[in-house]
Amino acid sequence: MKTGIIHDLQDLTYLKWSHIRNSSGTAGTFLKSGSTLNSVKRYYKLSNFDPVEGVIGHECVNEIIVDRLLTLLGIPHLHYELIYAKIEVEGRTYTTYLCASEDFKRRGESKIALDDYYRVNALPGESHYDFCARNGWREYIDAMLAVDFLILNRDRHGANIEVLRNARARTLRIAPLFDHGLSLLYSCRTKEAAAMFNVLEDKPCNNFIGTWSCRKNLELISNPGQVFPHKLTEADRSVLFEGLDGILPGVYFEKIWEMIYGRYQIYENL
């Protein structure tokens, strides 16, 4: 299994970028763009961007690592491609690794954030979790809560979970898991910060479902033993980080594996 990485420099200076403020409350600006070729929509995003220093984050690398993790565990999700590219933002040129993904909407579908869909359709006093279970999404949400614990996802707000509707066909489904950039060691800007990061600490997270605690949210899962179709093993470490050498210092990968595998063992012992 290999998630795509394009190391050869690509010229993507034609892309137009829009600013998306980080919703989790941490400092940063995230730029997004899109293109359509042969009727196929592709979306692009950058890691944390600073107008003076350029790209200062590594959230796009996180997306690839989590993409691979979810594939190993057998969890449906949106796939990302990591691309080394030359881009232009407000008249300045930068070279960086960015993420690309295809549109997960099917023909005729529109999307709505789960928090908006909940506000319109929830029963009085119904919790976010119970609302999802009533709509048939319990297994999806259980998997999401388990994954977010493994990667310490700090940004699972109500717009990072989407509902897809086709009014004509009268279909309703929840979008595949996506947007895992603000996880793992995304807050560590230096090798020293990465080395000192407590990977098992239960840090405050912006969760729409449950509480601020990814650890406590595991208590919502009705049958933890059946969430992941496949097991994670120590041999999977090489799969997660294949082709990423040189993009980040090695200490990041050491600590990321320590986080994922350590938290996986905690989860398995529930």
In tens, the pLDDT along 184-230 reads 999 999 999 999 999 999 999 999 999 999 999 999 998 888 999 99
At 25, is the pLDDT very low, low, confident or very high (cuts 50, 70, 90)? Answer: very low
177-193 per-residue burial string, b: 16 or more CB within 10 A, e: under 16 = bbbbbbbbbbbbeeeee
Q: In the block, which residue shows the tokens 């919703």?
A: 23
From residue 6, alpha-carbon distances to 83, 96, 204 in Å are 5, 12, 34
Give CA–CA dist 68/124, Å, rounded: 39
> What value does the mean pLDDT of the chain take?
93
Is the sign of the CA dihedral 70, 76, 78, 81 positive or negative?
Answer: positive
- Residue 24 has what pLDDT? 44
Q: What is the mean pLDDT of residues 169-192?
A: 96
Q: Which two tokens stand for residue 242?
A: 């294949």
Residue 178 · residue 63 · CB < 8 Å: no
Q: Is the pLDDT of residue 115 over 60?
A: yes
Q: Is the pLDDT of residue 22 over 80?
A: no
CATH topology of domain 110-268: 1.10.1070
From residue 160, alpha-carbon distances to 7, 50, 111, 189, 195 in Å are 28, 23, 12, 24, 29
At 43, is the pLDDT very low, low, confident or very high (cuts 50, 70, 90)? Answer: very high
At 131, is the pLDDT very low, low, confident or very high (cuts 50, 70, 90)? Answer: very high
